[in-house]
Structure 1
Amino acid sequence: MLDFDSAQSRLSTAGKPPAITEACPLHLARGRVLAQTLFATLDLPPADNSAMDGYAIRHADYAPGKPLPVQQRCYAGERPEPLKPGHAIRLFTGSLVPAGADTIVMQEDGVEHDDRFEINLPPTLGAHVRRQGEDVREGDQLLPKGTLLGAAEIALLASQGYAQITTYAALKVGILTTGDELVSPGQPRADEHIYNSNGPMLAALAENMGATVAHVLHARDTQESLQEAFAILLRDCDLILTVGGVSVGEKDLVKPAIEQLGGVLDLWRVCMKPGKPVALAHIDGKPVVCLPGNPVSAYAVFTLLVTPMLRTMQGRAQAMPTVQYGTLVSDRPFNEKRDEFLRVQAAFGPQGQTMLTPYSQQGSGIISSLPWASGLARIPADTVLRGGDLVAYYDLARWLA
């Protein structure tokens, strides 16, 4: 059997980084990957401004019980006059700090009456002033090439005036499910049939990672149906994921279909549970990854083995998310011949430590465990682990993003 870490490493490099870039409007950039390093075009803030609703003063002008004439009322978006000695200017959050002022007094710390502001609490020199460039300096690196763009990254770029950026073209993924026993949700089902959950599940997983799902196809257990599906997927997709049909049964026809198209299928028995059978091929330079047909196994293999490959093909700088650690909560031991990945739910313990509670049923057919779980806990092969032991934790929020 191929050990889990080797399988993960081999798949992460099985796809090529993208070569095609395109201009992308910033408001459409969520889920895209930067194809260039971007730098700050201006200081942020671009000028000193007020962090509070209050009054701009010269700190040296403060004296207990001494009111200061209010020279001007200046709203955010307006330019204030230079502050006269012995005066105050009424400001609001985001207002420019007037020339000559060095301190902002919050409105709650004084009283204005008849256009005179009396300060009740001694101010601190420089209080409540956001200094020019305290966040970002012109020329600073904002985001490196290979950054996955989310709302936070888009906010930073928008604050610098970027309206359009250069990103890699979206990765196009095709999904092929197989098997005469499967019917689409919503269709009539006989006792010998089951609903096809793999197609919608894998499409959702790929789209959540910013990929474009070009096709979700289903092939019957015939060479003609498989060849027709592969022709469409190879034409339109950069990465193909198949589910089921790569074992050694009479109806496992994916392997010969791939070979007829010029691909060589490398079938692995990965030392992991769930998800032992995994296969990799390349057809016309495009990777084809064959996942096990069980939905829980397909979910685990996609999470742990396919997502690093997908990130590489998207052009992301980091293919492998961080593996965290937590304390196992269980009243029974775990010990398998393969690396076992338990579906667990994370919670914080009394000292803030991560506590990982396994789902009550860990069978590979228990689909109800998937929406319940927050991640996967790794039990190394041939290792006995019990409640209270520290285990590796693969957080789904990180690994499926």
Structure 2
Amino acid sequence: MLDFDTAQARLAAAGGHPSIAETCPLIQARGRVLAQTLFAALDLPPADNSAMDGYAIRHADYVAGKSLPVQQRCYAGVKPEALLPDNTIRLFTGSLLPEGADTVVMQEDVDESDNTLLIHRVPKQGAHIRYRGEDIRTGEQLFAKGTLLGAAQIAMLASQGYAEISVYPALKVGILTTGDELVSPGQPRSDEHIYNSNGSMLAALVENMGANAVHVLHALDTEASLQSALSTLLQDCDLVLTVGGVSVGEKDLVKPAIEQFGGTLDLWRVCMKPGKPVALAHAANKPVVCLPGNPVSAFAVFTMLVSPLLRSMQGRAQIMPPLQYGQLATQKEFNDSREEFLRVKAQTNTKGLTQLTPYPQQGSGIISSLSWASGLARIPANTSVKNGDIVPYYDFQHWLA
């Protein structure tokens, strides 16, 4: 068996980076990856403006008890007049600061009557002003090539006037589940059958990472059925994920089917639990990752081995999310010959430490553990780990995004 870290590195490098780009409307860019580095086209804010509803004054004009005539009422989106000496201009949040003004007095500290202002609290010079360029300066780098775009990044680009951006094409992923024992949800089922949860699960995982699950196919345990499905997936997809049929049983026919398309097996079986029967192949110059058929194992393998590959093929700059650590909270001692990935829930304890509580049942058939867990705790191979020990923690929020 291949050790886990080597397998992870080889899978991450198995697909290569995208070589072409396309133009995307900014409003449709969530989940896309930048194909070029973008820079600020203007200062942000583009001009000095009021941070509050209030009144613009010259600080030097303030004298306790002195009334100031209200020269103008200036709403956001309207250009103010230049402020005259010993006057004030009524402003609202976002209003441009008038020429000559250097302070904004918030409306809670004043009284206005008959178009005349009386200030009750000594104003601080320069207060309540958002200054030009205090956030971003023209020419500053906004986001590097390879940045995954979310709402926060889109907000910044919109504020700079970007209507379209250059992104890498959305990755097309094909999913193939196998097995005569599987039936589609919603269809009649006998005792010898189980519902196919892998197809829907993997499609959701793929889509959550910003890729497109363009096909979710199922093949029976026959050469013809497998070859027909693989033909479609290899033709239409950039990455193919198969589930089941990759072990050593009489009906484990996925590997021979891949070989029929000229596929070469790059690795088979990884020293991890759950998820040992993993294979990586290339066919039609496309990576094919063969996942174990058990849903929990397939989920763990996708998290730890497939997600870095997918990020790489999307063109992302960050392939591996930052590694976290937590303190194991368990009454059981763990020690296995393989790297073990426990389904755990992370919580902050009274000392401020991240505490990792394993799901009571860690069997690879316990699907209920997936929706309960917040991530995976890594238990090193051939190492005794017990309550209170610090272990690596792979948070689903980072590894599946």
Whole-angstrom CA distance in 1 between matches of 2:127 and 2:390:
47
Aligned partner of residue 278 in structure 2, secondary structure: strand
Match of 1:206 in 2: 206
User: How far 1:332 sits from its partner (Å)?
Assistant: 2.1
**What amino acid does structure 2 have at the position aligned with 1:253?**
L
1:252 aligns to what? Answer: 252
1:334-345 superposed matches below 5 A: 334-345=334-345
Per the alignment, residue 382 of structure 2 pairs with 382
Alignment gaps of 5+ in structure 2:
none
Q: Distance in 1 between matches of 2:82 and 2:143?
A: 37
Q: Would the aligned equivalents of 1:175 and 1:217 in 2 still touch at CA under 8 Å? A: yes
Instruction: Supply the distance in 2 between the matched residues of 1:50 and 1:211 (Cα, whole angstroms).
Output: 42
Q: How does 1:161-180 map to 2 (within 5 A)?
A: 161-180=161-180
Could you tell me which residue of structure 2 aligns to residue 99 of structure 1? 99
1 CA distance for matches of 2:385 and 2:89? 67
Bigger mean CA deviation after superposition, 110-119 or 203-212: 110-119
Residue equivalent to 1:48? 48
* Alpha-carbon distance between aligned partners in 2 of 1:340 and 1:247, rounded to the nearest angstrom: 19
Aligned-residue CA RMSD in angstroms? 0.9
Residues 45-194 of structure 1 mapped to structure 2, 5 A cutoff: 45-194=45-194
Note the alpha carbon deviations across 1:133-165, whole angstroms, 9 max, x for none.
Answer: 000011111111001111111100000000001
Alpha-carbon offset, residue 267 of structure 1: 4.2
- Which amino acid in 1 is paired with 2:126? G
| Aligned counterparts of 1:268 and 1:231: Cα–Cα separation in 2 | 22
Q: Which amino acid aligns with 1:283?
A: A
Superposition deviation, residue 2 in structure 1? 1.2
> Distance in 1 between the 2:88 and 2:335 partners?
73
When the two structures are superposed, what TM-score results if normalisation uses the length of structure 2? 0.99
SS in 1 for 2:148: coil
| Conserved 8 A contact 2:242-2:288 | yes
Q: How many residues align?
A: 401
1:33–1:149 Cα contact (<8 Å) kept: yes
Instruction: Kindly state the Cα deviation for residue 312 of structure 1 after the two structures are TM-superposed.
Output: 0.6
Q: How far did 1:337 drift? A: 1.4
Deviations 1:249-295 (A, max 9, x none): 11011111111111112342211111111101111110000000000
List alignment gaps of at least 5 residues for structure 1: none
**Secondary structure of 1:334 counterpart:** coil
The residue that corresponds to 2:321 in the other structure is: 321
Q: Kindly state the Cα deviation for residue 351 of structure 1 after the two structures are TM-superposed.
A: 3.2
Q: 2:265 aligns to what?
A: 265
Q: In 1, distance between residues paired with 2:394 and 2:6?
A: 17
Q: CA separation in 1, counterparts of 2:343 and 2:165?
A: 39
Does the Cα contact within 8 Å between 2:266 and 2:282 map onto a contact in 1?
no
Amino acid at match of 1:372: W
Q: Secondary structure at the match of 1:360?
A: coil
Matched, 1:310 2:319: no
Q: Give, as a single letter, the amino acid of the residue that structure 1 aligns with 2:130.
A: R
Distance in 1 (CA, whole Å) between partners of 2:174 and 2:322 is: 27
CA contact (8 A) 1:267 1:277 kept: no
Q: TM-score, normalised by structure 1?
A: 0.99
CA distance in 2: counterparts of 1:117 and 1:351, whole angstroms: 53
